[in-house]
Amino acid sequence: MRDLAEKWSVAPDWQSAVITAPGLVVRAISGLDQLLVSGDLDAWARASGMDGNGVGAFGTAQGERYAARLARDRLLVVSNTPLGIATGWHAEGFAVTGISAGLQVFEVEGSALDAFIARGTTLDPKQASASPSLSFAGISAVVYRHQGRLRIHVDRGLAAYLWTWMETAASNIAVDSDN
């Protein structure tokens, strides 16, 4: 029987994975607690003590705990530590779903960041939008800034593809900057 796995990119060891190119560094980030919050975001804000607005595409998230606004009634909540709020339906009118295992997070920084973004999307990185959900490198991603770096969340099943794309983009940016 034919081995269909041979046509898929092999995922690197995310704990140590780094792409470096002149003006660009890309790292896989692990250990973040990621929650999907749906429903009454004002009620979520009261129950969690967090801001219920969230950042949009290319917006800047601040702190150890923050949210990205995926839709009118949906947030991706990211934290360096567990939030201590139960998953499931809450009578206040919102649901919390743990999705840490489903999303891979990448962080990109450097002087060539705008060139990197230009390869990934047609959106203007200087214009924040209401939602960070966008097409990046041809796949759905959540993209925003955190502490001066770009963060990209993708479905874990697409992470190896995006990593390969980022390796190629980084090497092409390095070549382009030499010319």
What is the pLDDT tens value at each position of the chain, 179 positions in all? 677 667 666 778 899 999 999 999 999 999 999 999 999 999 999 999 998 899 999 999 999 999 999 999 999 999 999 988 999 999 999 999 999 999 999 999 999 999 999 999 999 888 888 899 999 999 999 999 999 999 999 999 999 999 999 999 999 986 555 55
Domain ranges of the chain: 4-178
pTM: 0.91
CA 170 to chain CA mean position, Å: 18
Work out whether strand 60-61 and strand 139-146 pair parallel, antiparallel, or are unpaired: parallel
**87-to-11, 77, 99 alpha-carbon distances in Å:** 29, 12, 10
Task: Kindly report the backbone phi and psi dihedral angles of residue 170, in degrees, each rounded to the nearest multiple of 5, phi listed first.
Answer: -65, -40
Amino acid at 128: A
Pick the CATH number of 4-178 from 3.90.870.20, 3.30.1360.120, 3.90.1200.10, 3.40.1350.10: 3.30.1360.120
In three-state secondary structure terms, 107 is strand
